């Protein structure tokens, strides 16, 4: 059984190149990618995750409004009954020269599990996701061997 992940570009952001690259990289790595594409609202992410039974949500943002667009996403996940889903976010999350550690902290506080700066290699996120998914299974008392063909 492959892990399912919902990915897309949040808000009024229509940068599609990175989205296509991530789709390719995660699919190649063996994940079942549900790509909802650009201009996706929080509700689009959540509805897609519920319907596809997704294990993780990968939120991209490139146009600098990521912080605004992502606010409340975790709360809505909890409200919609998918509180266990892994939330990843990455891209040009904020405008201006801000301290990355500070940005990261703010997104962690919003409930994201992983936060990536611009220029992160897809492999970094793939490795993290693999580890986090295994951890989730262990935490639930399951066995990890042979569960995800992703690795």
**Positions marked catalytic:** 13, 15
Secondary structure (3-state) at 65: coil
Smaller CB distance to other proteins: residue 2 or 144?
A: 2
**Considering the rule CB under 8 A, would residue 63 count as an interface residue with other proteins?**
yes
Smaller CB distance to other proteins: residue 104 or 147?
A: 147
CB of 19 to other proteins, least distance (A): 13
Helix (H) or strand (E) holding 149: none
Secondary structure (3-state) at 22: helix
CB of 117 to other proteins, least distance (A): 21
Helix (H) or strand (E) holding 91: strand 86-91
Residues 109 and 3: their CA atoms lie apart, in Å, by 26
CA-closest candidate to residue 92, choices 71, 68, 129, 65: 65
Smaller CB distance to other proteins: residue 37 or 111?
A: 37
x/- mask, other proteins, residues 30-49, rule CB under 8 A, reads: --x-x-x-xx----x--xx-
Which distant-in-sequence residues (6+ apart) come within 8 Å of 21 by Cβ? 122
Half-sphere exposure of 74 (CA within 13 A, CB side): 15
**Considering the rule CB under 8 A, would residue 22 count as an interface residue with other proteins?**
no
Length of the chain in residues, anyone? Answer: 151
Smaller CB distance to other proteins: residue 52 or 120?
A: 52
**Considering the rule CB under 8 A, would residue 12 count as an interface residue with other proteins?**
yes
**Considering the rule CB under 8 A, would residue 65 count as an interface residue with other proteins?**
yes
Q: Write out the residues near other proteins by the rule CB under 8 A.
A: 1-2, 4, 12-14, 32, 34, 36, 38-39, 44, 47-48, 50-54, 63-65
């Amino acid at each position: 059984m492959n892990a399912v992940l919902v990915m897309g570009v949040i808000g009024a952001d229509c940068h599609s190149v990175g989205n296509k690259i991530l789709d390719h990289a995660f699919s190649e790595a063996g994940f079942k990618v549900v790509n909802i594409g650009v201009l996706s609202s929080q509700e689009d992410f959540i509805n897609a995750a519920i319907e596809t039974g997704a294990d993780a949500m990968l939120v991209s943002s490139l146009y600098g409004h990521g912080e605004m667009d992502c606010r409340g996403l975790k709360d809505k996940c909890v409200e919609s009954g998918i509180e266990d889903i892994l939330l990843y976010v990455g891209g040009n999350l904020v405008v201006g020269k801000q301290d990355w550690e500070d940005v990261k902290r703010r997104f962690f506080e919003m409930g994201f599990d992983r936060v990536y700066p611009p220029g992160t290699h897809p492999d970094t996120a793939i490795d993290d996701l693999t580890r986090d998914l295994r951890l989730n299974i262990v935490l639930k008392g399951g066995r990890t061997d042979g569960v995800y063909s992703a690795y």
